Chains A and B, each alone.
Chain A
Amino acid sequence: MSVSAEPIACQECGQLHRYRPVAPGKTANCSRCGAVLYRNRPNMLDAVLALTLAGLTLFVLTNVFPLLGLRAQGAEQELHLLGASLAFWDQGYPILAGLIILNIIVFPLFELLTLLVVVLTIRYRWRSNMAIFLFRWMRELKPWGMLEVFMLGVLVAVVKLGDLATLIVGAAFWSFAGLILTMAAATALLDPFSVWRALEKKHG
């Protein structure tokens, strides 16, 4: 396949372009709407791998330690990430509990594991069927992972409860903040176009 003639279409507006290699660190943009078509990032895979491993570590820490604690009249209540997801369950709203588990535990974990598989597949030239399947669903499910929205919820709750009782910010709060930053960095760094091309080359 000749590299220069490959037609590509803008993801945003559908405008047709021809693929032309760009210099390292540079970006190709759509001529009609200006959206990024693809980037040339020399060390993208290593950086994403490092961020993914850090993210998985932070994910485990976030789920192990309590997120918030509340002390009122001698009694104390702790909240873990899973506890927050299951709060609706105890109130008789299993569908809502399920939705929240998907938003803040299942989809973020799925995203991290997919990134790991995709990066390793490209790096070690494994067969790419699995990586293609995972990456496609990760892209489709991306809006449903809502860690940063949940974090805003935590902040709102913290301010709301501030006057009521003594609030303890748990260890998981900080690993959670780190996890959000790590995943945002990985998303910003990853160029989907390069990933799809790399996955495609290994397997028809």
Chain B
Amino acid sequence: MAEHGALLQCRVCSHLSHPPRQLKRFEVMHCPRCGARVKFAQQSNSVEVTWALLIAAAILYIPANMLPIMSVYMLGAGQPDTIITGVYHLLEAGQWPLALIVFVASIVVPLLKLFTLSFLLISIQRRSRWRQYDRMRLYRITEYVGRWSMVDVFVIAILVGLVQFGNLARVDANLGSLSFAAVVVLTMFAARTLDEHLIWDITRQEEQQNA
């Protein structure tokens, strides 16, 4: 992905290899060591694909928060919960550490991911040289924390699987959980498709021009 003069680096195994002399526009090169696809900077569509995934995630973020994610029935009565009412019920019950975990994992992390990845994309498109090291750290953190958003989906799965006592007590899953899981999956793909080496490429190009 990143180019070092004549050498290309594989993103999976970091193996460096020489590209073929001539490569047509849509020709694909595979890493000689691990077989993963290696892309050239000039044919990289990382920025466009990441934008597409991010926009899809941002759109789905709305139903994920508006629609109920699960419904709890006690003695026949009950009501559907959205993510935010779920957090509110936890606060009401005095379980604020739990409320905090769910709030951060389900609301803060996905939002931060949408904003951070957009910020990184814009800074790459503007060929910014501003604090490249910090931006790369930001990318790593964003990439790492994204998967923890799945915790709410897992909690629903556990509750639905465990609380099935007919009219006495029952938990059902609702459509919001599907939208929410889709947001998590899409932002995870977005973090993956964003080629973080693009953050450094502007310096590398200048180094090569000056050399």
Residues A164 and B169 in contact in the complex (CB < 8 Å), given A84-B157, A91-B160, A196-B34: yes
Q: Does A21 contact B (CB under 8 A)?
A: no
Residues A12 and B154 in contact in the complex (CB < 8 Å), given A88-B173, A156-B102, A163-B93: no
Q: Does B141 contact A (CB under 8 A)?
A: no
Residues A157 and B155 in contact in the complex (CB < 8 Å), given A132-B34, A152-B101, A200-B33: yes
Q: How far is the CB of B1 from chain A (nearest CB, A)?
A: 8
The answer to whether B165 touches A93 (Cβ under 8 A) is: no
Q: Which of A96, A104, A156 contacts B181 (CB 8 A)?
A: A96
- In the assembled complex, which residues on chain A have CB atoms less than 8 Å from the CB atom of B164? 77
The answer to whether B185 touches A99 (Cβ under 8 A) is: yes
Encoded as 1 (CB less than 8 Å from any A CB) or 0, chain B from 174 to 195 comes to 0001100100010010001000
Q: Which of B19-27, B50-58, B60-68, B145-153 contacts A (4 or more CB under 8 A)?
A: B145-153
Q: How far is the CB of A146 from chain B (nearest CB, A)?
A: 6
The answer to whether B181 touches A99 (Cβ under 8 A) is: yes
Nearest B residue to A7 via CB reads B16
Question: Which residues of chain B (1-30) have a CB below 8 Å from chain A?
Answer: 1-2, 4, 7, 9, 12-16
The contact sample of 12 A-B pairs, CB cut-off 8 A, is A9-B9, A15-B200, A16-B7, A33-B133, A73-B165, A75-B165, A87-B160, A143-B143, A152-B148, A152-B154, A161-B162, A196-B15
Q: B residues touching A (Cβ–Cβ < 8 Å)?
A: 1-2, 4, 7, 9, 12-16, 33-36, 90, 93, 95, 98, 101-102, 133, 136, 140, 143, 146-148, 150-165, 168-169, 172-173, 177-178, 181, 185, 188, 192, 196-197, 200, 204
